[in-house]
Homo-oligomer: A and B are copies of this chain.
Amino acid sequence: MKINILLYDGMTALDAVGPYEVLSRFPGNEVLFVADRAGPVRTDTGFLTLVADASLDEAPSAEIVLVPGGFTPPLTPGPVHEWLRAADATSTWTTSVCVGSLILGAAGLLDGRRATSHWLTLDNLTEYGAIPTAERVVIDGKYATGAGVSAGIDLALTLLGEIVGPEAAMAVQLGIEYDPAPPFPAGSPAKAPDPIVTFLRENRDLVVRL
């Protein structure tokens, strides 16, 4: 199975690397990192560079297309949206993590679809005709969206379970020892202490820049 993961300047690394680490571990799967131009892409913090091995023009079609979020997601019409629509026309699964769902929406792919996003940008989905759904992983037809950043791991394990079966997903999960034990119960606005939630709402540019 071929998986194309979109990279772009200002993206969030874990949005892409979490699902990559899951999907790449099933034998026979091939992951290709693609971007507007092949070559280095600087992530949103400015501290990390990932490399796209192919340009959008060069990328062969793939069964799974995955779009990560970031500080500066491509939300205006352009080559990324054109590529996404073409990739979606032949994909088996079109997927996103975090505000990647807004990119899918802006490309016109989530109209009338249930989808999720980072909790701070969930309502933005309505701008694109999508139905905001506050769940960690949302599947509507062939569109699978994950919530903020770290949710890409759960998204990818869910996909692997759907596509190959639970045993394959469990083997990969055990391989990457995904037995999460967060030291604090603060991963969602429903669980985190109110002052922490308020702090992030008032300083949302620490997390998203929309």
Q: Which A residues lie at the B interface, using CB under 8 A?
A: 12-14, 17-18, 20-21, 24-25, 27, 30-33, 40, 45, 47-51, 53, 98, 118-119, 136-137, 147-151, 153-154, 157-158, 161, 166-167, 169-171, 173-184, 186-189, 191-193, 195-197, 199-200, 206-207
Q: Given A47-B24, A49-B50, A53-B49, decide whether A180 and B187 contact each other with a Cβ distance below 8 A.
A: yes
Q: Which residues of B contact A196 (CB under 8 A)?
A: 167, 170-171, 174
Contacts of A30 in B (CB 8 A): 47
Q: How far is the CB of A29 from chain B (nearest CB, A)?
A: 9
State whether A176 touches B150 (Cβ < 8 A).
Answer: yes
Q: How far is the CB of A149 from chain B (nearest CB, A)?
A: 4
A150 in complex: contacting residue of B20, B48, B177, CB < 8 Å: B177
Selected contact of A177 from candidates B20, B33, B148, B180, CB within 8 Å: B148
Q: Is the CB of A118 within 8 A of B48?
A: no
A124 CB to nearest chain B CB (Å): 15
A119-B200 contact given A21-B12, A47-B32, A150-B153, CB 8 Å threshold = no
A175 to chain B, nearest CB (A): 4
Q: Are the CB atoms of B47 and A40 closer together than 8 Å?
A: no
A13 to B31, CA, bound (A): 13
Query: Roughly how many angstroms separate A201 CA and B191 CA in the complex, as a whole number?
Result: 37
Contact A14 B21 (CB under 8 A): yes
Q: A20 near B48 (CB under 8 angstroms)?
A: yes
Given pairs A154-B182, A170-B193, A174-B187, 13 additional interface contacts (CB within 8 A): A12-B21, A13-B21, A14-B176, A17-B17, A20-B47, A150-B153, A150-B177, A150-B178, A153-B182, A154-B180, A170-B192, A174-B192, A174-B197
Give complex CA distance A197, B174 in Å. 8
